[in-house]
């Protein structure tokens, strides 16, 4: 077993420890199904994040079973060797080689799952399973449970409790370990390069998909397997559509281009947004709004540190954005009142309608509770940041044409997004090499 495989084995051991603390039982963690795209062509395969977190194993048709009992055991079910299929689809480990390489105690062919599970579940006090994630597996688990219950006259007991195994894993995944941080930094560095490349190549007359192609080229050139999410390349008014995808709009002189794109590397996401002028020079109104968003991001980053609450960054960003909206006349003081009133009544939401960040990890909107667990029934406070958490900081301003909104700002959409790793003393912006001051962007685009 190499060092990385030891990390996966240690994660399984930590999960088993937590299962033991709840009285023991058996956990079932499947990988993702293969999905057909059309007729016999399937979507590129992407493993399940929880499954990968515990195994590093990327083949489809696999299930991890963990036994927390008198003897703890970690078991892998995976595709059997099949020379005929391997000629068409490529190498598969098969149970024996997979057990060895990935450090499991035992491994079986996936076809044996149905026969083995009732045996493994017999006398287990609880089942640790994420019901509702996969209807087919849900139905199988019910069958296995019933098969165990049928043996009651033989003195066998079926699991009497069910725990959502994702709840335990979400907490683990929220705090990134050294291996995860190393991969996330590499993913971030690739995405930084991709953004720089798109900025450098951009000129009026190109289309959005030309910039998307540059992003994809850089991702793949550096070994990233996929984009972490559909790349947004939005020019002009398209930047005000929050979930716009790169399409075929022409990039016009005088417009801004908003790119929200990040690669996935070895199962980990990065998530960067930059907004820059198509022709390399910000106009006056573009610059005015850009500086507000940039200042709001700096305010949010200053609140991204251990002990701060998840929403402190958002609140700080909103304050700067709202003040900027009043100063520029985007919001009319006569109508909306003071800064505090704008914040209390949410008038800023006309131009800033999303949150300032989210957890980032294997999934771009990563798992993990945003509020503290608390026993009483009152509103749970937002969670405090801890070293090892990774989150995005992504304020923006989006101005749709509307009566009373100064026309010079119409159709400007700006977002600036970086990825922050919470450290012992503050945070490390792992995407900071993508230029974001007006001067740095204009200098890069002049090259």
Q: Is 398 a catalytic residue?
A: yes
C-beta of 256: minimal distance to Mn ion in Å?
Answer: 16
Binds 229, which of ligand GLY, Mn ion, none (CB < 5 to 8 A, cut-off by type)?
ligand GLY
Binds 246, which of ligand GLY, Mn ion, none (CB < 5 to 8 A, cut-off by type)?
none
Q: Which of 266, 417, 418, 419 is catalytic?
A: 417
Closer to Mn ion by Cβ: residue 12 or 436: 436
For residue 154, the 8-state DSSP code is: G
C-beta of 84: minimal distance to ligand GLY in Å?
Answer: 41
Closer to Mn ion by Cβ: residue 180 or 419: 419
- State whether residue 226 is helix, strand or coil: strand
Closer to ligand GLY by Cβ: residue 193 or 271: 271
Q: Which of 260, 264, 303, 366 is catalytic?
A: 260
C-beta of 272: minimal distance to ligand GLY in Å?
Answer: 9
Closer to ligand GLY by Cβ: residue 77 or 268: 268
Contact 55, 65 (CB under 8 A): no
Q: At what angle do helices 208-221 and 178-201 cross, to 10 degrees?
A: 140
Q: Is 417 a catalytic residue?
A: yes
Q: Footprint of ligand GLY on this chain (CB under 6 A)?
A: 229, 260, 271, 358, 364, 394, 417
For residue 314, the 8-state DSSP code is: H
Q: Output Rg (C-alpha) for the chain, integer angstroms.
A: 25
Q: Is 85 a catalytic residue?
A: no
C-beta of 214: minimal distance to Mn ion in Å?
Answer: 17
Buried b (16+ CB within 10 A) or exposed e, 313-350: bbebbbbbbbbbbbebebbeeeebeebeebbeeebbeb
Q: Is 415 a catalytic residue?
A: yes
Q: Which of 271, 366, 418, 419 is catalytic?
A: 271
Q: Which residue number has the CB closest to ligand GLY? A: 260
The Cα 147–Cα 338 span in angstroms is 66
- In Å, how far from its chain's centre is CA 245? 18
- For 46-148, strand residue ranges (E) read 63-68, 73-78, 106-109, 126-128
Closer to ligand GLY by Cβ: residue 59 or 418: 418
Q: Is 260 a catalytic residue?
A: yes
Residue whose entry in the numeric block shows the structure tokens 């974001």? 436
The Cα 346–Cα 336 span in angstroms is 10
Closer to Mn ion by Cβ: residue 287 or 358: 358
C-beta of 75: minimal distance to Mn ion in Å?
Answer: 36
Nearest to 298 by CA among 439, 445, 174, 432: 432
Contact 129, 116 (CB under 8 A): no
The Cα 304–Cα 8 span in angstroms is 29
C-beta of 199: minimal distance to Mn ion in Å?
Answer: 16
Q: Is 394 a catalytic residue?
A: yes
Q: Is 418 a catalytic residue?
A: no
Q: Which of 365, 371, 372, 440 is catalytic?
A: 365
Contact 323, 357 (CB under 8 A): no
Q: Is 243 a catalytic residue?
A: yes
Q: Which of 220, 354, 380, 400 is catalytic?
A: 354
Known catalytic residues?
40, 243, 260, 271, 354, 358, 365, 394, 398, 415, 417
């Amino acid at each position: 077993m190499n060092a990385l495989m030891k990390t996966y084995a240690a994660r399984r051991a930590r999960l088993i420890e937590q299962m033991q603390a709840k009285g023991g039982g058996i956990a079932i963690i499947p990988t993702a199904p293969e999905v057909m795209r059309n007729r016999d062509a399937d979507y590129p395969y992407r493993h399940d994040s929880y499954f990968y977190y515990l195994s590093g194993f990327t083949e489809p048709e696999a299930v991890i079973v963990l036994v927390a009992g008198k003897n703890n055991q970690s078991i892998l079910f995976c595709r059997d060797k099949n020379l005929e299929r391997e000629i068409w689809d490529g190498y598969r480990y098969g149970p024996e080689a997979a057990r060895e390489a990935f450090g499991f105690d035992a491994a079986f062919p996936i076809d044996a799952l149905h026969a083995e599970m009732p045996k493994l579940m017999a006398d287990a006090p609880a089942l640790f399973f994420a019901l509702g994630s996969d209807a087919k597996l849900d139905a199988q688990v019910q069958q296995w449970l019933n098969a165990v219950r049928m043996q009651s006259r033989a003195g066998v007991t079926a699991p009497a409790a069910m725990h959502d195994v994702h709840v335990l894993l979400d907490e683990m995944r929220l705090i990134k370990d050294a291996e995860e941080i190393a991969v996330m930094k590499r993913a971030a560095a690739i995405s930084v390069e991709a953004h720089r490349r798109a900025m450098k190549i951009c000129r009026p007359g190109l289309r959005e998909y030309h910039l998307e192609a540059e992003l994809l080229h850089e991702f793949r050139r550096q070994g990233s397997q996929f984009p972490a999410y559909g790349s947004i390349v939005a020019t002009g008014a398209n930047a005000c559509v929050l979930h716009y995808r790169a399409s075929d709009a022409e990039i016009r002189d005088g417009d801004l281009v908003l790119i929200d794109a990040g690669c996935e590397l070895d199962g980990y996401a990065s998530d960067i947004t930059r907004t820059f002028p198509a022709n390399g020079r910000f106009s006056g109104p573009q610059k005015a709004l850009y500086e507000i968003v940039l200042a709001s991001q700096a305010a949010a980053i200053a609140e991204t540190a251990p002990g701060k609450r998840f929403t402190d960054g958002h609140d700080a960003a909103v304050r700067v954005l709202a003040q900027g909206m009043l100063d520029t006349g985007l919001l009319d003081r006569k109508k909306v009142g003071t800064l505090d009133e704008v914040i209390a009544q949410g008038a800023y939401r006309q131009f800033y309608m999303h949150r300032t960040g989210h957890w980032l990890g294997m999934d771009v909107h990563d798992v993990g509770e945003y509020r503290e667990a608390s026993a009483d029934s009152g509103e749970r406070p937002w969670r405090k940041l801890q070293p090892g958490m990774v989150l995005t900081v992504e304020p923006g301003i989006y101005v749709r044409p509307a009566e009373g909104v100064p026309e010079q700002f119409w159709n400007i959409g700006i977002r600036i997004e970086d990825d922050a790793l919470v450290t012992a003393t503050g945070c490390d912006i792992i995407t900071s090499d993508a230029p974001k001051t007006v001067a740095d962007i204009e200098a890069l685009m002049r090259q």
